Amino acid sequence: MPAKHKKKHLQDIGLDISSFGKNKTSLRQMSQDKKHHHLTTNEKFIKENTIKLDITYILSSTGDKPFISKTELDDIAPTIIQKHNQLKNSEGDCLDGGIPMLGWLNLPDEITAEKLDDIVSASQELSDNIDVFISLGIGGSYLGIEATFKALTHTFFNQLSRRERGNVPQIYFLGQNTDPDFFRDTLDMLQGKRVGINVISKSGTTTETAIAFRILRDLIEKWAGNRSTEYIYVTTDRVRGALRKLAQQKGYKTFEIPDNVGGRFSVLSDVGLVSLAVAGIDIHEFTAGFQHMKKLLIKDEFWTNPAMIHAAIRHLAYKKGKKIEVVATNSTATYHLARWMQQLFPESEGHNGYGMWVSPSLYSENLHANGQMIQDGERNILETFIRLINHDNILKIPSDPEDLDGLNYLSDKNQDMNFINRLVIDGPAYAHFQGGVPNMIIDIPRRNAFNIGQFYYMMEMSVALSGYLAGHNPFIQPGVEAYKKAMFALAGKPGNENDNKIIIESITNLAHIVI
Ligand code: PA5
C-alpha cells in the first residue's frame, strides 16, 4: 500500500485512547440505576468516606509562636459551645420576618426515605420524557445544585450520549444572570429538543430567574401546547409569592421550600434535591452524608467537632487581620464547592463592616495567576484548601527514552499525574505557611454524594457559628436588597416610583466623570 494512502487512513481513524481504559466518572454515572446508598450504613465505607480537617499549618509555627495557638482555641471553645447551644435551642439572632431560620439544622433527620423516593419518582417522570433539563435559579436556588452536579459528573456531561450520562437528560442552568448572549447560546442547545425545566425561587419575584422563566415558559407553551404543564416544575414557597400563584393557576407540579430554611442553606430541601435527582445524583446517599456530619457535629466537644474548629480559626484569623480567605482546590470537580462557599460565607458574614472575602481558586491553575500575591503580597490572607484525595481516574505519565522534558524521574518511579495533583495542595500549603499565610486543609476522600453532603453540613454549621461569634444574624442578607431596590427603581418597576425619583435625582446630581 502506498505510504501516502496509509497515512490518510490513520488520520481518518483519529486518536485511540482505549489504552486509558474506561472513564470511571462515566462508569459511575452509568451505574446510577444501581444506587449505592446502602453503603452509607457500612462501617468501612463510613471510615473511608469521612471528610477531615487538617489544621497543622494553623497551629505550627515558623518563628517563636504559631499564628493561632492551641491555648487560644481552648479559650474560645466555651464561647463556641455556647453559640452552638443557642443554635440548637433556636435562640440568638436568627429571625427573618419573625421566623427562626434554623430549619436547615434538622433537615438531615427530617427528610424521610419515602420523601426522597417521591422526589426520585417525580424526577424520573420528567427525565424520561425530555432530552434537556434546565434548572432555573440564582444564589441559594442555584449554586448548591450546580456545585453538587459538577462535583459528581463528567466535565463534558452534555456532550456524552444519554447512555453514558446514566440515561438522564442534558443539564443546563439559567436564571443565574441576565447575560443575553449566555442565554441565547444556551437556547441554541435546545433547538429541536424536548425540554423540561424546574424553576426555583423562594420569593418567586427574583428578576433574573423570573425573566428566564418567562422566556422558557413561552417557548415550552408554543412547543407543547396544552401539555406544557408536564414539562414545567416549580419549586417555591409553600403558600406565598408570585410563582406559587402562577403555579396554582397553570396547574404546574410544585415542590416546597420550607419557611425556616434560607436560600443558601437549602440545598438539602426540594431546592436542591429535585434538580439533582433529574441529573441522576443519588439523593439518598447525599442525604446520608448530611446525616453523618450532623452526628459528628451535634456533640458539644470542641476538639472533635470540625465545624467548631473551622469557625474558631476563621474568627480568630479575622481578628488578627486576615480579611481574605482563598479557598483553593486541586480538582475542577470540587472547584464549584468553593464557589458555593463564596456565597455561603460572605452573604452570611458580611454585616456591619465585618466579614472575610472568600476567593475560590483552582490550583495549580491559579498559582500561575495570583500565587505570587499569596506567597509574598500583603499578609491579609487565610487559605482553606479543599483537597480531593482520590480522583476518579488515575493517569499514568508515559516514559520517554529521550527525556528531553526531564519528566522520567516521575515515570521511572511509576508516579502518576494524581501524585503531582496531590502536591499542588501539599506544596503550596507548606510554602504559603512559610510565607505567612496560615492555612487549613479539608480532605474530601473521593467524589461521591456522601462526601459532598457532609461538606455542606459542616460548612453551614461553621458559618452559622461564625455569624453568632461576630454578633450578627447570619441568616439574613439586607445588603442584597439595596442593589435590587436601585435596579427596580432604574427599571421603572411599578410600586417603586418614590425610590425611582430619589435614585434618579441622586444619580443626576453626581458630577459625572467619564474619560
Ligand atoms: O441565600 C439566599 O437567601 C439568596 O442567595 C437567595 O437564595 C437568592 O437571592 C435567590 O432567592 P429566591 O430563591 O427567592 O429567588
β-strands 381-390, 195-201: how paired? Answer: unpaired
Question: Closest Cα to atom 9, ligand 1: which residue?
Answer: 139
Burial class (CB in 10 A: 0-12, 13-18, 19+), 416: middle
Report CA(173)–ligand 1 centroid distance (Å).
15
Q: What does the pLDDT look like over 418-429, one tens digit per residue? A: 999 999 999 999
CA of 432 to the centre of ligand 1 (A): 35
pLDDT mean over 150-176: 97
Biggest CA pair distance of the chain: 83
Please give the tally of structural domains in the chain.
Answer: 3
At which residue does the C-alpha cell 435614585 appear?
503
Specify whether 316 is located in the same domain as 453: yes
- Pairwise CA distance, residues 149 & 9, whole Å: 39
Contacts of residue 424, defined as CB under 8 A and 6 or more positions apart, other chains included, come to 330, 363, 364, 367
What is the per-residue pLDDT across 239-278, written as a single tens digit (0 to 9) for each? Answer: 999 999 999 999 999 999 999 999 999 999 999 999 999 9
Q: Are residues 263 and 145 in the same domain?
A: yes
- Mean pLDDT, residues 128-153: 98
Would you say residue 22 lies in a domain? no
Backbone dihedral angles phi then psi of residue 30, each to the nearest 5 degrees: -70, -20
Do 53 and 167 lie in a common domain? no
**Known catalytic residue at 368:** yes
177 shares a domain with 53:
no
353: burial class by Cβ within 10 Å (0-12, 13-18, 19+)? exposed
Last residue of a domain, which of 215, 250, 281? 281
Residue 6 lies in a domain: no
Nine-digit cell at 57? 499549618
265 and 378 share one domain: no
Which of 281, 310, 341 delimits the end of a domain? Answer: 281
Structural domain contains residue 224: yes
Alpha carbons 487 and 493: distance in angstroms, whole number: 9
Active-site pick, 47, 368, 413, 512: 368
Residue 443 has pLDDT above 50, yes or no: yes
Is residue 493 among the annotated active site residues?
no
Which band of pLDDT confidence, cut at 50, 70 and 90, is reported for residue 1?
A: very low
CA distances (Å), 234 to each of 169, 370, 418, 419, in order?
18, 41, 41, 45
Q: How many CB atoms lie within 10 A of CB 378?
A: 10
pLDDT at 59 over 60: yes
Q: What residue's CA is closest to ligand 1, atom 5?
A: 139
Q: Residue 1 domain-assigned?
A: no
Same domain, 242 and 222: yes
Per-residue confidence (pLDDT) for residue 7, from 0 to 100? 57
Average pLDDT over residues 308-334: 98
The ligand 1 atom at the shortest distance from the C-alpha of residue 137 is 15
Please give the Cα distance from 286 to 356 (Å, whole number): 29
Per-residue pLDDT for 13 more than 90? Answer: no
Residues 443, 449, 455, CA angle at the centre, nearest 5°? 40
At 8, is the pLDDT very low, low, confident or very high (cuts 50, 70, 90)?
Answer: low
Nearest CA to 269 among 141, 178, 428? Answer: 141
> What stretches of 128-174 show up as alpha helix (H) in DSSP?
143-152
Co-location of 347 and 263 in the same domain: no
Distance, in Å, from the CA atom of 489 to the CA atom of 255, rounded to the nearest integer, reads 31
pLDDT of amino acid 2? 52
Is the Cβ–Cβ distance between 208 and 177 less than 8 Å?
A: yes
Hey, what amino acid is at 459? M
Residue 404 shares a structural domain with residue 327: yes
Residue 241 near ligand 1, beta carbon < 6 Å: no
What is the rounded distance in angstroms from the CA atom of residue 316 to the CA atom of residue 256?
A: 38
Q: What is the share, in percent, of the chain residues with pLDDT greater than 90?
A: 88
**Range 462-472 average pLDDT:** 98
H helical segments located in 89-206: 103-110, 113-127, 143-152, 180-188
The yes-or-no answer on residue 484 being catalytic is: yes
Residue-level pLDDT at 152:
97
For residues 279 and 452, what is the distance between their CA atoms, to the nearest angstrom? 15
* Three cell numbers, residue 246: 402562577
pLDDT confidence of residue 496? 82
Domain that holds residue 488: 480-509
- Are 253 and 390 within one domain? no
- CATH number of the CATH domain containing 364: 3.40.50.10490
Asked whether the whole model's pTM tops 0.85, one would answer yes
Strand order in the sheet with 132-136: 170-174, 132-136, 195-201, 232-237, 253-257
Q: Is 209 in the pocket of ligand 1 (CB under 6 A)?
A: yes
Cα 159 from Cα 155, distance rounded (Å): 9
Residues 65 and 117 in one domain: no
123 in Cβ contact with 169 (< 8 Å): no
In this structure, the answer to whether residues 115 and 264 fall within a common structural domain is yes
Tell me which DSSP letter residue 353 carries: T
Pocket flag, ligand 1, residue 176 (CB < 6 Å): no
Q: Is the residue at 146 inside a domain?
A: yes
Q: What is the DSSP letter of 199?
A: E
pLDDT at 148 over 60: yes
- Whether 264 and 306 map to the same domain: the answer is no
Of 281, 315, 341, which residue is a domain's last? 281
- The arithmetic mean of pLDDT across residues 20-32, rounded, is 91
Using alpha carbons, select from 460, 375, 404, 367 the residue that is nearest to residue 84. Answer: 460
Q: Which residues contact 6 (CB under 8 A, 6 or more apart)?
A: none
DSSP string covering 112-129: -HHHHHHHHHHHHHHHTT
Kindly state the cell numbers that stand for 436.
Answer: 505567612
Q: Which of 347, 349, 383, 460 is catalytic?
A: 347
381 within domain boundaries: yes
Cβ within 8 Å of residue 459, ≥6 positions away = 307, 310, 340, 341, 344, 345
- Amino acid 395 reads L
- The string of pLDDT tens digits covering residues 180-225 is 999 999 999 999 999 999 999 999 889 999 999 999 999 999 999 9
447 falls within a domain = yes
Residue 26 lies in a domain: no
